[in-house]
Amino acid sequence: MADNRRRRSLFVSFLLSVFLACLCLAPVPATAQRRKLRFGVNGEFKILQVADMHFANGATTRCQNVLPSQKAHCSDLNTTIFMSRVIAAEKPDLIVFTGDNIFGFDVKDAVKSLNAAFAPAIASKIPWVAILGNHDQESIFTRQQVMNHIVKLPNTLSQVNPPEAAHYIDGFGNYNLQIHGAADSKLQNKSVLNLYFIDSGDYSSVPYMEGYDWIKTSQQFWFDRTSKRLQREYNAKPNPQEGIAPGLAYFHIPLPEFWSFDSKNATKGVRQEGTSAASTNSGFFTTLVARGDVKSVFVGHDHVNDFCGELKGLNLCYGGGFGYHAYGKAGWARRARVVVVDLNKKRKGKWGDVKSIKTWKRLDDKHLSVIDSQVLWKSSANKLVVR
């Protein structure tokens, strides 16, 4: 049995090496950044969140906090295998990496590690995006250099920063993606779901304010401005819609408001460690609630928390630790979060606006078990009639 595991690990390592060699020679598709995302013919858009891979050097990087029976042959390749399995099982429309994609302190070659970390997503040819955590820049690359490399990889829709805000916005990896209505529907050219990706930084640079970083005023200004612009477009002709299209926000470091929940009052999931938020509250939670379009926030950072909790109409959700070189809890399976957004079905069978937002998690066990399925948000029954 041990020999089989060893052969499997070597085979995966060989395949990954071949893939990475091809990746270095492959040109980035010119259409990658211009690809329009839309709901499928089934009226569904599925997102896979991968939180905290902590990828380092592949087969030579050992796993953290696994069972004794797993230690001998466990490495970064287990993270790679898990990602390939869950992508094949879920077939998402978008893969979102929410930071600490690599563990910079242990990385020998930042380019190779980044390429290897994202390799299963790239191989799947599914659109994917990434934001940064607090460990991605801890090798030879700055945060800007890490994002500069990421945006050049195949099939990614990641952006360093929005062009209209690049001169003032803090951080690297702030951007928005619009998900258009289903093809052949009245909303096929209108964004009915808006995704916000925000750089929550790494560590505080303010004297006497130690700890983790936070989402700055400039980023909140960009979010507010972008949200209002998207609402104007949603309400505009042709096919004007009432209200505002729902949104989802992804970043790495949790907001202080995550402290509001434990295993008892969370809607689903568990708390097994504290919330490692910034020591100051920059008010982003209040900004999100005031705008009202974002229905759920998804973060990583605290690997053995995987709960969702609702506060003032906003869902706060952890992804749960994904990577095997990241700290975890022996016997508590690594996991990924899936989010599915469904459309309303209108007259004559055509798809309309967003009906609901659901989520569940996949465990890295024998059966890729599905746990903690829940509805995060439903539209009002008398709301948003497509004209």
Per-residue pLDDT of the chain (387 residues), as tens digits, is 445 555 555 545 545 554 544 444 444 443 344 679 999 999 999 999 999 999 999 999 999 999 999 999 999 999 999 999 999 999 999 999 999 999 999 999 999 999 999 999 999 999 999 999 999 999 999 999 999 999 999 999 999 999 999 999 999 999 999 999 999 999 999 999 999 999 999 999 999 899 999 999 999 999 999 999 999 999 999 999 999 999 999 999 999 999 999 999 999 999 999 999 999 999 999 999 999 999 999 999 999 999 999 999 999 999 999 999 999 999 999 999 999 999 999 888 899 999 999 999 999 999 999 999 999 999 985 443 332
- Enter the pTM of the model: 0.91
Q: Which residues, at least 6 apart from 81, have a Cβ–Cβ distance to it below 8 Å?
A: 12
Q: What's the confidence (pLDDT) of residue 24?
A: 43
- The predicted pLDDT at position 387 comes to 29
193-202 pLDDT, tens digit per residue, is: 999 999 999 9
| Rounded-to-integer distance, Cα 54 and Cα 323, Å | 6
Asked if residue 212 lies in contact with residue 278, where contact means CB atoms within 8 angstroms, the answer is yes
Q: What one-character DSSP code corresponds to residue 75?
A: B
Residue 292 has a pLDDT of 97
**How far is 40 from 286, CA to CA, in rounded Å?**
33
Nearest to 285 by CA among 296, 271, 274, 269: 296
CA distance linking residue 265 with residue 141, whole number of Å: 41
Say which DSSP state 28 is in.
P
User: Any idea what DSSP says for residue 131?
Assistant: E
What distance in Å separates the CA atoms of residue 79 and residue 220, rounded to the nearest whole number?
33
Torsion sign over Cα 165, 175, 197, 156: negative
Output phi, psi for 304, to 5 deg.
-105, 15
pLDDT of residue 380: 84
Among 244, 184, 226, CA closest to 39: 184
pLDDT score for 31: 39
pLDDT at 17 (0 to 100): 52
Distance, in Å, from the CA atom of 17 to the CA atom of 14, rounded to the nearest integer, reads: 5
Identify the pLDDT of residue 381: 54
- How far apart CA 32 and CA 367 sit, in angstroms, is 33
